[in-house]
Structure 1
Amino acid sequence: MAYQSIVLMAAVALIFGVLIATPSRAQPIGVAYGTQGNNLPPPNEVVDLYKSKNIQAMRLYDPNQAVLQALKGSNIQLMLDVPNADLQSLASSPSAANDWVQKNVKACFPDVSFKYIAVGNQVIPGDQAQYVLPAMKNIHSALSSAGLSNQIKVTTSIATGREVLEQYSPPSSSRLSSGASTYLEPIVQFLASNGAPLLVNLYTYRHYIGDPNHIGTKYALFTSTETVIEDGQYSYQNLFDTIMDALYVALEKLGGSNVPIVVSESGWPSADGFGATVDNARTYNQNLINHVGQGTPRRPGKAIEAYIFEMFNENQKPQGAEQNFGLFYPDKQPVYPINFT
């Protein structure tokens, strides 16, 4: 009996150790769904495409009623944006925020699986930055009045260019711009008090094309097999982790060490731009999917929730690479093969 007990205890310890050591993959990979095209499939077909490809989360940039109807019963987790054009009115009027929530959220709940309301996209810093936190507070209050504040988190999305993240390498010396930190510090405190994440649009592509000789494609595409950046005890082989850890350090400096980061956009164009090829786009996005469950050097094993930009090539966006971030053509054929599982 003693021998059997020892064997059983050893087996339990081994299993438990494996569970602890295995990186978490609980967070689903999402895909942003933009609608700036005059040849895109109808929303019900788009939702069916998400389901057929096992894409479990969606970012939607405005409360498109046809899309919200199509999402009902799909179990696709939704990040819904408050468009930038609505920020000022929602910031100044609690009743306007209440109307917005009643029409676009409460009317569809629980048939639509809302997860986040993103109040504004990349407006910090800038003329509209002053409206972000007041609008967030009003939307949060409206959700609370509707009994939904525990299920749906209110946040905002920021860019990771120099206008926000002034310095990112090495991560330990990361620094936000003064214009960004002025607005982000109280926002981070609001997020921390409500258990909500900060959304970041993180494009290694944009950093790469800004300094291709220094950054290099391997560092940007997750394909480097060697350390590129040494930062004390932390080593970095890819630019994505470098920027993520720089953001973690920046949040710590603002008192947001417990605020999670959700990558609300990340992607690579397949045509019409420097370094924009089908092979590079496929490599980046597949490696992103494969990588986010591992965490970063500063947050090892802590899975990152991420949304790929974007579902379709959109012909009404500015000419060039901006029209070619899609995983699919408007006829629903893949631009390149990719595996979400």
Structure 2
Amino acid sequence: MALFVLSLLTLSAISFTHADSGMIGVNYGRIADNLPAPEKVVELLKSQGINRVKLYDTDKSVLTALANSGIKVVVSLPNENLAAASADQSYTDNWVQENVKKYTPATDIEAIAVGNEVFVDPRNTTTYLVQAMKNIQSSLVKFNLDESIKVSSPIALSALANSYPPSSGSFKPDLIEPVIKPMLDLLRKTSSHIMVNAYPFFAYAANADKISLDYALFKENAGNVDSGNGLKYSNLLDAQIDAVFAAMAAVGFNDVKLVVTETGWPSAGDENEIGAGSANAAAYNGGLVKRVLTGNGTPLKPKEPLNVYLFALFNENQKTGPTSERNYGLFYPNENKVYDLPFSAKSTPVNDGKDKVPVKTPSSHVGGQTWCVANGKTTKEKLQEGLDYACGEGGADCRPIQKGATCYDPESLEAHASYAFNSYYQKNARGVGTCDFGGAAYVVSQPPNSWTMSTGNASFQQGTEMGLEEEDPAD
């Protein structure tokens, strides 16, 4: 598997860093045949205020496009290169020369990820990892790049033998001596972070009968108390991270810092992928952004800011595996957002004039008086799918748009979908994630009657008409 999100309109005024808080970046994967050119992607990143990106290779066109962009970059040495990098120092000298030094300082490369989730690589590359990391580090020293560029390697949570409760976190015994200890020793000596890919989605999907969805999605919940140390956890990601911290402490490396190089939630999945969906993806990533930008660490490391790279920038249509693998993107390949996601811990409505969609706060509601309308730019299929859900399983009151009823005219899919979407949105107290329908809807703050799209005689229900009091947008 491989690791941002958005309700992205122009977020150029919103930095991905925040004083005394953690950092948020995005993974730019490219296993697809329909993505924008790298130059367009860089424009998109800059327009959204995204100033950190992680790549899975060192593609020339991408690194060239990122030059002088002000975006900090993590590049990767793919798993298939590990054997050669481990065996020959001259190989890594040449690799660093051609794939790193050539592009700096114009392209601001700040780290090299040596391999990705190597311990679960079917090519059995684990034995090559540490020596490859050491050789890359030596090459950076040779070219005087070791002060500005760090070396690490992303590990999956499957490297843990134990993760619950977090205080009992431990690495798999067969990995400790040959790989974990020497890797952590190198990270300590070079002041580098351990890279961790953590997905609460997988844990929830596999244990939905035991794990609360609200706990996985950063929503209000009763929390869980660690029986080993009494610490209370309000979300699953914190618990996963602290399990890694505990595992490192158990082998004598309590001082190595950590960065989450991948985390995310799929906006679609197969029937057996419990929890996959755009509403949950919006809730998870929105909650995560708020969680990171508040500046608090985990219960075990409360003073260390949480640094995260979201997975992923785009939906990637050539990824293999279940449907979820192709639906982690924050954007569709046409650069439209998959769902709304704020990049501020506070309410920060922003509009670039291209979209009518205001940025939503990560709170449990959208402040002020708002409505949900159909996105006329999406496909008819998406509108119909959303309409069917809202009027069916969603429980929206769609009687007024039945033939002969008061809101049947105008007889258009977009008008009917808007009515149904808004009914569902208001019924669910304008909650975050309740106005997306897979990108087929968005929130507006203007009264519907002022839109250019005619709504005929349909009377859109306002929040106050449904017993909802006006809310302060700053709440």
Task: Return closer, same or farther for 1:57/1:258 CA change in 2, 3 Å cut-off.
Answer: same
Greater fraction strand: 1
8 Å Cα contact 1:224-1:238 kept in structure 2: no
Asked if residue 76 in structure 1 is aligned to residue 79 in structure 2, the reply is: no
The alpha carbon displacement at 1:23 in A equals 8.0
1:1-341 alignment, distance < 5 Å: 24-25=20-21, 27-124=22-119, 127-161=124-158, 164-182=159-177, 183-231=179-227, 232-273=229-270, 274=273, 275-292=275-292, 293-318=295-320, 319-341=322-344
Q: Deviations over 1:241-260 (max 9, x none)?
A: 11111111111122221111
The alpha carbon displacement at 1:125 in A equals 5.5
- Give the whole-Å Cα distance in 2 for the aligned partners of 1:338 and 1:179: 41
8 Å Cα contact 2:215-2:223 kept in structure 1: no
- Give the whole-Å Cα distance in 2 for the aligned partners of 1:113 and 1:235: 39
The alpha carbon displacement at 1:123 in A equals 0.9
Which runs of no fewer than 5 residues in structure 2 stay unpaired?
1-17, 345-475
For 1:295, what is the secondary structure of its paired residue? Answer: coil
For 2:118, what is the secondary structure of its paired residue? Answer: coil
What is residue 16 of structure 1 aligned with on the other side?
none
With a CA cutoff of 8 Å and minimum separation of 6, indicate the structure with the bigger relative contact order: 1
8 Å Cα contact 1:24-1:301 kept in structure 2: no
* TM-score normalised to structure 1 length: 0.90
8 Å Cα contact 1:188-1:254 kept in structure 2: no
Tell me the matched-pair count: 317
Indicate the larger mover: 272-281 or 191-200: 272-281
Indicate the larger mover: 117-126 or 322-331: 117-126
For 2:195, what is the secondary structure of its paired residue? Answer: strand
The alpha carbon displacement at 1:221 in A equals 0.8
- Give the whole-Å Cα distance in 2 for the aligned partners of 1:125 and 1:208: 20
8 Å Cα contact 1:188-1:255 kept in structure 2: no
- Give the whole-Å Cα distance in 1 for the aligned partners of 2:140 and 2:339: 40
8 Å Cα contact 2:170-2:250 kept in structure 1: no
Q: Deviations over 1:153-180 (max 9, x none)?
A: 011010013xx11211111111211133
For 1:121, what is the secondary structure of its paired residue? Answer: coil
Task: Return closer, same or farther for 1:224/1:166 CA change in 2, 3 Å cut-off.
Answer: farther
For 1:256, what is the secondary structure of its paired residue? Answer: coil
- Give the whole-Å Cα distance in 1 for the aligned partners of 2:252 and 2:186: 11
- Give the whole-Å Cα distance in 1 for the aligned partners of 2:172 and 2:23: 31
- Give the whole-Å Cα distance in 2 for the aligned partners of 1:90 and 1:261: 24
- Give the whole-Å Cα distance in 1 for the aligned partners of 2:30 and 2:174: 31
8 Å Cα contact 2:297-2:306 kept in structure 1: yes
* TM-score normalised to structure 2 length: 0.65
For 2:111, what is the secondary structure of its paired residue? Answer: strand
| RMSD between aligned residues | 1.4
- Give the whole-Å Cα distance in 2 for the aligned partners of 1:255 and 1:77: 31
- Give the whole-Å Cα distance in 2 for the aligned partners of 1:254 and 1:156: 18
8 Å Cα contact 1:174-1:246 kept in structure 2: yes
Over alpha carbons, which structure has the higher Rg? Answer: 2
- Give the whole-Å Cα distance in 2 for the aligned partners of 1:289 and 1:184: 30
The alpha carbon displacement at 1:337 in A equals 1.1
- Give the whole-Å Cα distance in 1 for the aligned partners of 2:174 and 2:125: 12
